[in-house]
């Protein structure tokens, strides 16, 4: 069908014009877009280079206000579904834009650009130079992305080279493909500016389409490989229920990531840089980091979007170096305002310099006695007790000391401005709206749950069975530390059949009782009490 279409729009023997050129250009451009996309995927697979479109997605999402972001996420069915929609849209968009580029070239070539020199200059400027400049200018803050862990300076150069290679592949394929379709040859005699158009264009269209199909198969193979590494299977993984353990196993630890495919950093080339307001810029390899005096601490992490009853929180024992040690070694300015943290996947976040100098703020490289897992930020990440998970930057590559109020990736969306974790408790068992039989509860019904107060520790947990009219103190089975959650239980013996409204609240070690904070900003983390309804028959 495609061959018939191309032959129909270009039946003449002179260089095609108008719709004739458009049909050939669209075909050549579409094939070139497939080739370009395959090159981008190959560079991503082999060298961890980001594609221009993935960087555009990150750039846009960081600037998208939180309300439209959440509305879009809800409309498509969740964060992973939004990522999948983004990937498919980008691939389709690249094919469409590539085909349009081929059309522009075919129409513009005409008789005015038959000169190989003029044509070469035109195509290089249009398809290589201008796109590289445009992408570099628009994406400069995040061009230093590299999913294998190259230092930001080298990563920036590698990304730009990758852009150029992909665009050169597109430009060469468009030029060669259109020349092949039109079978251009200089005519004999004085009319050298004319070209011969081969009547076998239909067969040539089939051949070019076949080349595109072969390249598409290769690109599809790369896509399948990358899909297996994608975060769709674990992003948003939660932990809650009766079987909560004091220390969360690494494979059960909750996960939230902005990436479609998380970084797989090569420890041999990874470096941690200390820059900004420092006397001496420092760079640390992983071995040098591990050679420093280390500490171990138990710390619970929780996502800022975690609802009162939800499970985007987990607890682990982390090993690493206090950030203060690294900042002191670099001679950080004591009057600095914040640290701006950079990850290899272009994620950024910040917190106060004073918090960075706290000895509990770690650059961690072990989790529960094992090297930091890939999905949890290997080879090194930040652990900053008391602040929401987004501040605990994974795949860390640079700590920049700054003298201004910097904004992180999600803060630019509108999350915050308060990132201090409020005190909370949760009922994990029994589940909401369960129906229980009084005859089976002669020995009592065991209630279980967790409580967490950021870096203030939990001193007390109380349970109410009469819609907050009275409170009974629960048992702290696992008190935890000031930096971790506590696990509580209560053996409940209902007075009789009926409907019960249960609530739970925690008190931190500073004496602050959990309550609804109506003054807290909407996107600064949920407050209030977790409540469930039970029916006893």
Q: What's the structural domain count of the chain?
A: 3
Alpha carbons within 13 angstroms on the beta-carbon side of residue 133 total 7
Q: Do residues 393 and 435 both lie within one domain?
A: no
pLDDT 10s digits, 252-278 = 999 999 999 999 999 999 999 999 999
- Residue 367 — very low, low, confident or very high, per pLDDT cuts 50/70/90? very high
Handedness of CA 179, 182, 184, 190 (dihedral sign): negative
pLDDT 10s digits, 173-192 = 998 888 887 765 444 444 44
Residue 304, domain member (yes or no): yes
Residue 244, domain member (yes or no): no
- Residue 206 — very low, low, confident or very high, per pLDDT cuts 50/70/90? low
d(CA 286, CA 151): 13
Q: Do residues 219 and 311 both lie within one domain?
A: no
Backbone angles phi, psi at 227, to 5 degrees: -65, -35
d(CA 488, CA 451): 7
Residue-level pLDDT at 208: 57
Domain limit, last residue, from 363, 378, 413: 413
Percent of the chain past pLDDT 70, that is, above it, reads 88
Q: Do residues 338 and 482 both lie within one domain?
A: no
Is a pLDDT exceeding 50 seen at residue 144? yes
Residue-level pLDDT at 7: 41
Peptide bond into 249 cis (omega under 30): no
Residue-level pLDDT at 88: 87
Q: Do residues 330 and 432 both lie within one domain?
A: no
Domain limit, last residue, from 370, 389, 413: 413
Residue 433: which CATH number?
Answer: 2.60.40.650
Residue 240, domain member (yes or no): no
Average pLDDT score, the chain: 88
Q: Do residues 213 and 281 both lie within one domain?
A: no
All residues at 6 or more sequence positions from 504 whose CB lies less than 8 Å from its CB, including other chains: 425, 426, 427, 449, 451, 461, 462, 463, 464, 474, 529, 530
Residue-level pLDDT at 456: 98
- Residue 455 — very low, low, confident or very high, per pLDDT cuts 50/70/90? very high
Q: Do residues 164 and 40 both lie within one domain?
A: yes
Token pair belonging to 360: 């509990």
d(CA 320, CA 289): 8
Residue 370, domain member (yes or no): yes
d(CA 78, CA 43): 29
Is a pLDDT exceeding 50 seen at residue 145? yes
Q: Do residues 189 and 324 both lie within one domain?
A: no
All residues at 6 or more sequence positions from 357 whose CB lies less than 8 Å from its CB, including other chains: 323, 324, 327
Residue 261, domain member (yes or no): no
Residue 14, domain member (yes or no): yes
Q: Do residues 482 and 511 both lie within one domain?
A: yes
Domain carrying residue 496: 424-536
pTM of the model: 0.88
Each as own residue / partner, the long-range contacts of residues 251-256 (CB below 8 Å, 24 or more positions apart, any chain) are: 252/314, 253/314, 253/316, 253/367, 253/376, 254/301, 254/303, 254/311, 254/312, 254/313, 254/314, 255/231, 255/375, 255/376, 256/303, 256/305, 256/312, 256/389
Residue 345, domain member (yes or no): yes
Residue 294: which CATH number?
Answer: 3.90.420.10
Q: Do residues 352 and 457 both lie within one domain?
A: no
Residue-level pLDDT at 2: 38
Strand partners, 381: 364
Residue 258, domain member (yes or no): no
Backbone angles phi, psi at 159, to 5 degrees: -65, -45
Q: How far is CA 287 from CA 155, 189, 290, in A?
A: 21, 72, 5
Domain limit, last residue, from 228, 256, 283: 228
- Residue 4 — very low, low, confident or very high, per pLDDT cuts 50/70/90? very low
Q: Do residues 13 and 86 both lie within one domain?
A: yes
């Amino acid at each position: 069908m495609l061959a018939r279409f191309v032959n129909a729009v270009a039946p003449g023997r002179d260089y095609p014009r108008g719709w004739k050129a458009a049909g050939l250009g669209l075909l050549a451009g579409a094939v070139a877009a497939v080739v370009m996309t395959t090159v981008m995927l190959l560079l991503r697979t082999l060298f961890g280079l980001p594609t221009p479109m993935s960087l555009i997605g990150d750039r846009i999402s960081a600037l998208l206000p939180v309300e439209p972001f959440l509305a879009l996420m809800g409309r498509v069915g969740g964060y992973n579904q939004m990522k999948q929609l983004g990937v498919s849209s980008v691939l389709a968009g690249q094919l469409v834009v590539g085909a349009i580029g081929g059309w522009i070239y075919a129409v513009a070539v005409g008789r005015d650009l038959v000169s190989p020199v003029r044509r070469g200059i035109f195509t290089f400027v249009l398809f290589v130079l201008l796109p590289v400049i445009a992408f570099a200018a628009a994406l400069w803050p995040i061009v230093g992305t590299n999913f294998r862990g190259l230092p930001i300076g080298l990563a920036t150069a590698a990304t730009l080279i990758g852009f150029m290679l992909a665009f050169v592949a597109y430009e060469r394929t468009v030029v060669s493909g259109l020349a092949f379709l039109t079978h251009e040859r200089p005519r004999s005699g004085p009319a050298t500016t004319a070209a011969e158009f081969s009547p076998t264009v239909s067969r040539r269209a089939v051949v070019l389409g076949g080349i595109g199909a072969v390249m598409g198969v290769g690109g599809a193979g790369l896509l399948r490989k990358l899909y297996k590494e994608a975060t769709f299977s674990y992003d948003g993984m939660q932990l809650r229920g009766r079987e909560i353990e004091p220390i969360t196993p690494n494979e059960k630890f909750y996960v939230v990531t902005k990436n479609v495919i998380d970084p797989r950093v090569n420890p041999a080339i990874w470096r941690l840089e200390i820059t900004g307001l420092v006397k001496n810029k420092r760079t640390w390899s992983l071995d040098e980091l591990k050679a420093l005096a280390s500490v171990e601490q138990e710390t619970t992490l929780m996502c800022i979007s975690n609802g009162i009853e939800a499970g985007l929180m987990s607890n682990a024992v982390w090993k690493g170096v206090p950030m203060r040690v690294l900042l002191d070694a670099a001679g950080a300015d004591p009057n600095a305002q914040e640290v701006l943290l950079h990850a290899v996947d272009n994620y950024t976040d910040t917190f106060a310099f004073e918090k960075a100098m706290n000895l509990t703020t770690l650059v961690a490289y072990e989790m529960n006695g094992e090297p930091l897992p890939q999905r949890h930020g290997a080879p090194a990440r930040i652990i900053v007790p008391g602040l929401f998970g987004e501040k605990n930057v994974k795949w860390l590559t640079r700590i920049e000391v700054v003298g201004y109020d910097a904004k992180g990736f999600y803060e630019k969306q509108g999350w915050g401005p308060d990132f201090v974790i409020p005190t909370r408790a949760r009922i994990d068992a029994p589940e909401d709206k369960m129906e229980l039989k009084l005859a089976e509860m002669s020995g009592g019904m065991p209630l279980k749950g967790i409580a967490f107060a950021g870096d203030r520790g939990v001193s007390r947990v109380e349970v109410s069975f009469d819609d907050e009219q009275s409170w009974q103190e629960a048992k702290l089975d696992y008190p935890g530390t000031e930096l971790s959650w506590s696990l509580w239980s209560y053996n409940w013996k209902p007075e009789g059949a009926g409907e019960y409204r249960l609530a739970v609240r925690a008190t931190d070690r500073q004496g602050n009782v959990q309550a609804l904070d109506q003054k807290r900003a909407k996107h600064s983390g949920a407050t209030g009490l977790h409540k469930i309804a039970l029916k006893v028959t």
